[in-house]
Chains A and B, each alone.
Chain A
């Protein structure tokens, strides 16, 4: 039996939780337990702290809280200690042994273990360059609250926006606020959310649906996962608000099965929200009823496309179909359906609560608000970055990400995943927003941002993305099914050293045709990685086809290994060579038989004197 939660109940819970957190002797220990933290060993740390605490039975003022990802993956596992009125202490790269010492000295003894903080200098995360240019709206609760405790979410004004919507606003008001905020879909396309809702709202039907698209398939993007793991209630609240706005009583979250932690936290969150009557019949005493179910994706990138996603929830092969009719008219089981992405949804409660003008206070005129990027690849600080729209890529890469490691030269940054393109040095100072990125031949995409340095071959990168799209094409329309395959074959031909100058023209022609004629977004954008690398790095392609060389020394068939004259004749390479391609006598310079060499690189790795070169 669901408790009858009212606005008053929410206020009371908030006061209670805050009073407990702000009590003078309260100690909150936040352990970052997103997937990244867990991979780095956070569970053992968490267990070690709990065990230590369990031994001291009379301590009630200490809470050990598993929370979402703070975004700074390089420092995981991260443990933060929060005491009212004192500076937050951040421990990084924590091991179970360190955790025990921290418990003993800091928590019980009151003496922070400075050597385990960042650089051993007592720095907190927010003092890092990484955070200085960030503005946290979507991620504001990630790393701050226990995602498995609805009371903590409520203490951060959780479910207040839903209360405001269903008790004080009409569905039309909600849609108008969303329109005024200018929020655009964060899943890739950047379609205005308020507009999307306004298309579904007037359609009459006995049943309408809200779907949360959490099928984050772009390899190298994990912002949605972090939101689901760190702040699942925000997504549930937003879906309920959306349901109220368009007149839907049922919601589905379509989430990747590869995100077990997120799935489990969502299930917990849904259960808690139902128990409190924040999902279910007559929410907060209003006439509005809404419930949410989870559907697990089964591993198909194309299911990020709206119509394919709907087919998948219906239990079919996830293949896209022609639009119109758009899902807003005929969606899930033929009923009006609105599909919003996780990050988009996570913005909504705050927009309702703080107003459209507040939201427009960040970002640019045409792309208000913030965007979360998953910064990765050849960069010093990898992690999740939330910045106001309009900052430049240079700021993200050099100020937040602290540049390229090992003194290497920056080559390109890839945004938009398999649908996006590469951005080069000349465009690093363009303010990031939806329209600017499209104008320079890439796209926002879901927010993957992979930095590449001089050691990455751009032809190889294009081939890598085509590997992906060939695999993930649903096979329904010919341009995508056959076209991407031919594109891929052509790229392999080039990276294998068999390409001709005509192949480059063919690539371009084929890519343009696929873009123009494919059925859905997957095919229409699949050639982008090829086109953008061709545009910005044509010289690399030409080196592959004309000189049969790979300038970045990546494409193996195009490499030559040679032994320099300073070879000491230790015979190690000759003995290790798997195809016995190296000849030479002891203490004499060895020679590689180029006809036999398979370019595996073993000799280069084993040589202790640096006498082997590849070019």
Chain B
């Protein structure tokens, strides 16, 4: 699904320089008990997701941990992503307070708008759509978060296209900027 949209470098190569950063972390906690989850959390922070190739690398790095164990952990906890994520993460709160105030309508509107299921990535690679459990700002219900921005009291789903447009516009500006820099370099 939408793999091509994730751009190049879909596969993390063994010589990826980011492994150095991960190794430094592992060295700092090596010898402590029960570090598997912590290492996976750090790997996800560094790479953005923890695909099998990263898990294999970790298993070789930690002496007595099999890939099976790591895979078991990474598929058990909802925090871990095994596939690459969209550029922006939309989290719609489906905590009880938001749900009774109509959060389901937000999810449906986003699904329709982005043509994506919950947990999926939009075809252009811009958004991952997720439903989360209670973001903890129940007085602002119903809420959604896009990355770190909170959008509160979304009673009217008609606001959603406008909110998303902001991110598309930002992304276009970024691209234009990149192109401008490139053409300047070329010149």
Contact = CB atoms under 8 A, between A and B. Distances in A.
Nearest to A453: B100
Contacts of A218: 134
A40 B143 CA distance: 11
Interface stretch (B8-16, B29-37, B170-178): B29-37
B77 A221 contact: no
Interface size range of chain B in the complex: 35 or more
Nearest to B105: A601
Nearest to B37: A315
A257 B41 CA distance: 10
Interface stretch (B17-25, B51-59, B90-98, B159-167): B90-98
B36 A377 contact: no
Interface in A438-465: 448, 450, 452, 456, 461, 464-465
A316 B66 CA distance: 12
A298 B37 contact: yes
Contacts of A76: 139
Contact of A376 (B33, B69, B138, B152): B138
Interface residues of A, number: 49
Contacts of B137: 35-36, 39-40, 73
A76, A219, A259, A295: most-surrounded residue (chain B CB, <10 A): A219
B131 to A, nearest CB: 9
A498 to B, nearest CB: 20
Interface in A288-306: 295-296, 298-301
Contacts of B180: none
Contacts of B135: 35, 39, 258
B106 interface: no
B77 A300 contact: yes
Contacts of B38: 295-296, 315
Contact of B79 (A299, A378, A474): A299
Contacts of A225: 136
B76 A317 contact: yes
Contacts of B72: 317
Contact of A220 (B35, B79, B96): B96
Contact of A450 (B100, B132, B136, B143): B100
A300 B79 CA distance: 8
Interface of B: 33-38, 40-41, 69, 72-73, 76-80, 94-97, 99-101, 132-141, 143, 150, 152
In the A-B complex, the 7 residue pairs with the closest CB atoms:
A73-B139, A298-B77, A376-B97, A315-B34, A220-B96, A315-B36, A219-B95
10 contacts: A39-B137, A39-B150, A219-B96, A219-B99, A220-B97, A222-B134, A222-B138, A298-B73, A450-B100, A465-B96
